[in-house]
Amino acid sequence: MIELRTPAEIEQMRPAGRFVADVLAATAAAAKEGVNLLELDRLAHDMIRSRGAESCYIDYHPSFGASPFGKVICTSVNDAVLHGLPHDYRLRDGDLLTLDFAAAVDGWVADAAVSVVVGTPRDEDLRLIDTTRRALAAGIAAAQPGGRIGDISAAIGAVAHAEGYSVNLQFGGHGVGRTMHGDPHVANDGRAGRGYPLRPGLVIAIEPWFLQTTDEIFTDPDGWTLRSADGSRGAHSEHTVAITEDGPLILTAP
């Protein structure tokens, strides 16, 4: 079911958005060469406890997950692009790391993701990350009242295709509110003018993610981490966005 939020409820979602942005900023800053992914998870967990927030991930067990996630942040490294389960791995120079985090504050959820390079970057990684960021900006710009979900999808896909990337449609954006994942689905490619109407009060996560040389993925033996089929690297950018009478409002802006 798709739920529309009142202006007052959207205001109540702002603290969750700010908190998610703060956690991503802190974990991204801490992601240095030699740092263990489990240390990043502990940092996020400590911030959740200090804020009195609630993790959206630790008990999360959808049909595509092998078991409850058990951690509070997704850490996807190199050929991993989504749902990266934190494990005993120390970051290395040149690693491409995506951090994806969702949490609830006072019962309202926000969800966002960033990709960063640890240490010395590769040009192709910077280009990939930049493409996801520009695709996110294009999708947000298309999230106008009176439009359609397809407008967002088409805007994201156009940026990806212009850079020569193919787009996987298995996972994309989604509704956000009292729970992390709701309707409508927001694909990362599509046709403008189609899909659910963009009405004021709709709150969605917009999240372009691309792989360098494929759009095929497989699930790691850990039962969660999604990796590229050919070993190429992935990047992912995401914001929680409210549709308002005045246009899109980014709730997870830093």
CA gap 150, 25 in Å, rounded: 30
Please tell me the predicted confidence (pLDDT) of residue 132: 98
Per-residue model confidence as pLDDT tens digits over 216-249: 999 999 999 999 999 999 999 999 999 999 999 9
Mean pLDDT of 193-221: 98
Mean pLDDT of 20-47: 98
Which token pair is 130? 């930049």
- Provide Rg for the chain, Cα atoms: 17
Please tell me the predicted confidence (pLDDT) of residue 78: 98
Say whether 207 counts as a known binding-site residue.
yes
Calculate ∠ Cα 197-142-131, nearest 5°: 135
Mean pLDDT of 115-132: 98
pTM check: above 0.95? yes
Say whether 45 counts as a known binding-site residue.
no
Per-residue model confidence as pLDDT tens digits over 61-112: 988 888 999 999 999 999 999 999 999 999 999 999 999 999 999 999 999 9
Say whether 216 counts as a known binding-site residue.
no
Say whether 9 counts as a known binding-site residue.
no
Strand (E) or helix (H) holding 209: strand 209-211
Q: Give the DSSP letter string of 118-170.
A: -SSPPHHHHHHHHHHHHHHHHHHHT--TT-BHHHHHHHHHHHHHHTT-----S
Say whether 181 counts as a known binding-site residue.
yes
* CATH numbers and ranges of domains, the chain: 7-250 (3.90.230.10)
Phi, psi at 246, each rounded to 5°: -95, 5
